[in-house]
Amino acid sequence: MTTSARSGWRIFPLVALNILVTGGRAVRWGAGRPADLKDVDGVIIGGGDDISADVYAGEVVTSARIDPERDALERALIAGAAARGMPLLGICRGAQMLNVATGGTLDRDAYRTYTRSKRVYTILPRKTVRICEGSRLERIAGAAPMRVNALHSQAVDRLGEGLRVAARDLGGMVQGVERVADPFALGVQWHPEHLWYARRQRAIFRALVTAARAYAAGRGQVAEVEREMRAARRP
């Protein structure tokens, strides 16, 4: 998992706990830390500072906190994971980076664009999102509207190559993206690690762990995840 230099010490243990309870083990990466994809079976791009606008040819925002070294690391990891067929989960900034690394862009002031979207800034589940019908996220976490948290001001604008929208909030703002085909890649705009007590949020981490096992064993990731999700719903 990649982390912010500022908040990684606080966020990584939460994500590591979610990975542990769903059957995996997490290691922390960040700018200046060793990061070799040969050592892992899956990648999490974590939350943190805004992505530098010049990465996706957008308008430079001088007031935004950015970390160009981390931007470069994460873009390389996303490209490397895709080249290896390795599964990936993006959380908040990580969902945005998944989109940017595949050629998409971001709306730097999303709440100005989506005026009907409820603006909240809290780790508590105060925002409602709708899961897109037929999405992989729907098969992972179910079709019912989901209550999530929100700690972002930017959001996905133009989709990256090979991605589709997996969730939107009630105002239409993108809240989830996913790769259409293998390798497994899902990005959620909220922070499921803070909602560890919710079964549907743990299912997101379980899907990554399942895909990582399938990658390690050389099996098809998407098919493996969907099999496990169907089995988990059986009475």
Residue of 132, 138, 152, 191 marked active site:
191
The Cα 204–Cα 65 span in angstroms is: 28
Task: For residue 160, give every residue at least 6 positions away whose Cβ sits within 8 Å of its Cβ, in sequence order, or none.
Answer: 98, 99, 100, 101, 102, 103, 104, 177
Please check whether residue 215 is in contact with residue 183, taking contact to mean a CB–CB distance below 8 angstroms. yes
Residue 122: strand pairing partners: 150
Closest residue by Cα to residue 105 from 156, 166, 47: 156
Residue of 92, 132, 138, 178 marked active site:
92
Residue of 74, 193, 224, 228 marked active site:
193
The reply to whether 132 belongs to the active site is no
Residue 91, token pair as written in the block: 């959380």
Residue 2: strand pairing partners: 29, 45
The reply to whether 193 belongs to the active site is yes
Residues annotated as catalytic are 92, 191, 193
